[in-house]
């Protein structure tokens, strides 16, 4: 029982630390909806979104991988203050803009898409998670 309790709090502390570091790196606050989700599931959530990267320990890599994917496909760079929070199988990703909103819209890119702009896939981040 104690081992599970320590593991739970350790997970929570690591997630909070990573989110805090990311906020400092981006010099902006992450949305409340995102932080709430990550505090509950940020280290892992069993079978949630299998094949996708979204966990706290992958967040820095996601920023790099998304930029590389766009460059490889001669697509426009991410907008200023974009934060990639989800990537699936290395060929599609979702992001929001760090603009102070608690529940921002979600934009999407998929390798090979015909659209020349990023696609707004959800009006609110909370819709992405539901």
Question: For the chain, which residues make up each domain, given as ranges?
Answer: 2-129
Taking the C-alpha atoms of residue 130 and residue 70, their distance in angstroms, rounded to an integer, is 27
Burial of 129 (0-12, 13-18, 19+ CB in 10 A): middle
CA distances from 76 to 36, 67, 72, 79, 98 (A): 31, 9, 10, 9, 18
| Superfamily of domain covering 2-129 | SMI1/KNR4-like (3.40.1580.10)
Taking the C-alpha atoms of residue 35 and residue 29, their distance in angstroms, rounded to an integer, is 10
Q: What is the pLDDT of residue 121?
A: 97
What is the rounded average pLDDT for all residues in the chain? 85
pLDDT tens digit sequence for 67-123: 999 999 999 999 999 999 999 999 999 999 999 999 999 999 999 999 999 999 999
């Amino acid at each position: 029982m104690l081992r599970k309790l320590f593991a739970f709090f350790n997970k929570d502390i690591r997630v909070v630390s990573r989110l805090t570091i990311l906020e400092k790196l981006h010099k902006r606050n992450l949305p409340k909806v995102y932080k709430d989700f990550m505090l509950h599931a940020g280290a892992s959530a069993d079978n949630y979104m299998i094949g996708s990267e979204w966990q706290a320990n992958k967040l820095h890599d996601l920023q790099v991988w998304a930029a590389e994917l766009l460059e490889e496909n001669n697509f426009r760079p991410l907008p200023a203050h974009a934060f990639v929070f989800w990537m699936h199988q290395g060929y599609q990703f979702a992001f929001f803009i760090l603009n102070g909103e608690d529940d921002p819209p979600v934009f999407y890119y998929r390798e090979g898409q015909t659209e020349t702009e990023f696609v707004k896939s959800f009006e609110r981040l909370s819709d992405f998670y539901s």
